[in-house]
Amino acid sequence: MSRILLLFMDGIGLGADDPACNPFAACEMPALEALLGSRKFVFETAPFKGDEATLLSVDPTLGLAGTPQSASGQAALLTGRNVPQEIGEHYGPKPNPPIQQILREGNIFSTVTQLGGKTALLNAYPPQYFEAIERGHRLYSAIPLAVTAAGLPLMTAEDIQAGRALSVDFTGEGWAARPEFPPVPIYSPLEAGKKLAHLAAQYDLTWFDFWPSDYAGHRQDMNSAIDLLETFDIVLSGLLQERGGDQDLVVLTSDHGNMEDLSQRGHTRNPVPALLIGSEELRDHFAEGLENLTHFVPAIRRTLFSS
């Protein structure tokens, strides 16, 4: 049976090859660019198919005017349903009641579980997060809501301390910088990537929610965006060094554009990437008909359960 690690990189589209506004064009990402035949991770590169990776452009607009938003885009990615069409708008950042109901009716985590697979969200959350949810001071975003709706636990401080999960920045440094958070292990970016590969090998489907990319886009700070991407590339290098065999597939995608165009503060209508890393056979199987956010759930399902 195949295994899939889905790296969800919030708020990244495929933008122009313009280093003045696109940090993906301005930064150095040797691990990622090696997968793309020394090309940049920009709109002009897709579609691309190489020895180890495939890059496709995916439509996040789903037939609606306006700019795609996090809650409805993530819900479409998680359920395979055209959520913006169903609710009549792009909506975010947190799910409103109609989106919450759609996620509770079924999502990729519940589907994998029902079909006998093992799945998890590998992000750990600090105690303060759960306390804020319990008090009603915070709402679940779409991804943790989908996990809990599937009857699965969210990872905690105990999980990251035991090596079963990672912090959102992979290394634990951001978590450790918060004195009110429990202590956690600190990894170098390369070690964190290797750790991610080892964790993913324990499940059929794993998901990692990397939302700092969306924050970087909203801040419009080129230097910090470049630093973020170059660190991410080292994590990716570690992941690739430890990734399993021909039955393992890494999928990197997003919900909407943002970080790829720092000339504007908000989201974009740019296509989002579907970067597939693995054997040619597995990539081709996953990529069949992959054109918009609603196509990821059927792609995951057929890759895991009918490959």
> pLDDT tens, 197-215?
999 999 999 999 999 999 9
Q: Look at residue 193 and tell me if it is in a domain.
A: yes
51: in domain: yes
Name every residue whose Cβ is closer than 8 Å to that of residue 229 and which is 6 or more positions away in sequence: 23, 24, 27, 29, 213
Residue 88: inside a domain, yes or no? no
Task: Dig out the tokens for 200 from the structure.
Answer: 């993913």
* Helix (H) or strand (E) run with residue 84 in it: helix 83-87
- Does residue 274 have a pLDDT over 80? yes
Q: Tens digits of per-residue pLDDT, 15-34?
A: 999 999 999 999 999 999 99
Secondary structure class of 283 (helix, strand, coil): helix
CA–CA gap between residue 161 and residue 156 (Å, rounded): 9
Please, what is the average pLDDT of the chain? 97
**CA–CA dist 231, 237 (Å, integer):** 10
Q: Are 93 and 120 in contact (CB under 8 A)?
A: no
Kindly state whether residue 72 falls inside one of the protein's structural domains: no
> Is residue 69 assigned to a domain?
no
Nearest to 142 by CA among 104, 88, 94: 94
Stretch 73-80: mean pLDDT, rounded?
A: 98
CATH (domain of 116)? 3.40.720.10
**pLDDT of the residue at 245:** 79
Q: Residue 160: pLDDT above 80?
A: yes
Q: Which of 239, 257, 263, 235 is nearest to 249 (CA)?
A: 239
- What CA–CA distances, in Å, run from 263 to 152, 160, 171, 220, 246? 39, 37, 29, 7, 40
Residue 114 in any domain: the answer is yes
Please count the structural domains in the chain.
1
Question: Percentage of the chain surpassing pLDDT 90?
Answer: 97
Q: Strands, E, within the chain: which ranges?
A: 3-9, 48-49, 53-58, 119-121, 205-210, 248-253, 272-277
* pTM, two decimal places: 0.97
d(CA 7, CA 167): 14
300 within domain boundaries: yes
Nearest-5° angle of CA 124, CA 77, CA 263? 85
- Residue 74 belongs to some domain of the structure: no
pLDDT for residue 306 is more than 90: no
Range of the domain at 24: 3-61+107-305
Instruction: Quote the pLDDT of residue 307.
Output: 54
